């Protein structure tokens, strides 16, 4: 398998992990932040350097129904994806593995990746943060996890529970998927 094919396979693996918020058990969280972290580690195995990028977006610009959007504690949220350096082209590209393929039939912008060029983004950004601001946003979440995730659970818990149920109702099962990760990999 070529390096590009292996990188595509890694992307598809992470992308097709069903998207789900889980503030109670972070090892089971598969949101954009978690999936970006997983993909960054896998891409490094194939010699692709990447860093996390954060952007803001509005809930009402997503596929969610208005009655669900109305339950969001804030009209805006943050989304994470990667900037990856492609050795063959010597260019940085955007790579977003957020929405799983089971959501494609429901109209979600599920990304495809050729291993060389940018993917579509899962949301319509209001502002894409600088690398330093993106790193600080992720750093704060990673280094003050207990306090941050407790605050998120208290503020967003009920909304994200409803969001998870709605997303699950939109998902069509993927055929042929037998395990949550490649053999020998810890994806938590």
Instruction: Please report the sign of the dihedral spanned by the C-alpha atoms of residue 75, residue 72, residue 63, residue 110.
Output: positive
Average predicted confidence (pLDDT) for the chain: 86
Per-residue pLDDT tens for 17-39? Answer: 999 998 777 788 899 999 999 99
Evaluate whether residue 51 is within a structural domain. Answer: yes
Confirm whether 188 is domain-assigned. no
Report if residue 178 sits inside a domain.
no
Residue 77 lies in a domain: yes
The percent of residues in the chain predicted with pLDDT above 90, rounded, is 68
Instruction: Judge whether residue 61 has pLDDT over 70.
Output: yes
* HSE-CB of 49 using CA atoms within 13 angstroms: 6
Helical residues (DSSP H) of the chain, grouped into ranges = 3-15, 32-45, 66-69, 131-143, 145-170
Neighbours of 96 (CB within 10 A): 27
Asked whether the predicted pLDDT for residue 148 surpasses 60, the reply is yes
pLDDT at 178 (0 to 100): 40
Residue 113 pLDDT > 60: yes
Q: Is residue 90 in some structural domain? A: yes
Number of independent structural domains in the chain: 1
What pTM, to 2 d.p., does this model score? 0.85
Q: 184 lies in a domain? A: no
Please give the C-alpha separations between residue 7 and each of 31, 102, 136, 139, in angstroms, as whole numbers.
Answer: 20, 21, 27, 26
Query: What mean pLDDT is predicted for residues 161-187?
Result: 66
Distance of CA 131 to the CA centre of its chain: 17
pLDDT of residue 139: 47
- Residue 93 is part of which domain span? 3-169
SS3 state at 81: strand
């Amino acid at each position: 398998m070529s390096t590009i094919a292996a990188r595509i396979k890694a992307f598809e693996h992470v992308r097709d992990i069903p998207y789900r918020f889980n503030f109670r058990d972070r090892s089971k969280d598969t949101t954009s932040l978690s999936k970006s972290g997983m993909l960054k580690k896998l891409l490094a195995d194939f010699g692709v350097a990447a860093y996390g990028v954060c952007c803001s977006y509005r809930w009402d610009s997503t596929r969610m129904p208005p009655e669900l959007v109305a339950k969001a504690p804030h009209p805006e949220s943050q989304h994470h994806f990667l900037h990856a350096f492609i050795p063959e082209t010597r260019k940085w590209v955007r790579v977003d593995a957020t929405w799983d393929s089971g959501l494609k039939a429901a109209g979600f912008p599920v990304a495809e990746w050729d291993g060389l060029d940018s993917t579509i983004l899962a949301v319509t950004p209001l502002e894409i943060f600088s690398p330093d601001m993106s790193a600080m946003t992720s750093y704060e979440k990673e280094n003050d996890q207990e306090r941050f995730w407790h605050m998120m659970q208290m503020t967003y818990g009920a909304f994200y529970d409803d969001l998870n149920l709605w997303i699950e109702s939109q998902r069509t099962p993927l055929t042929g998927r037998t395990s949550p990760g490649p053999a020998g990999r810890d994806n938590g």
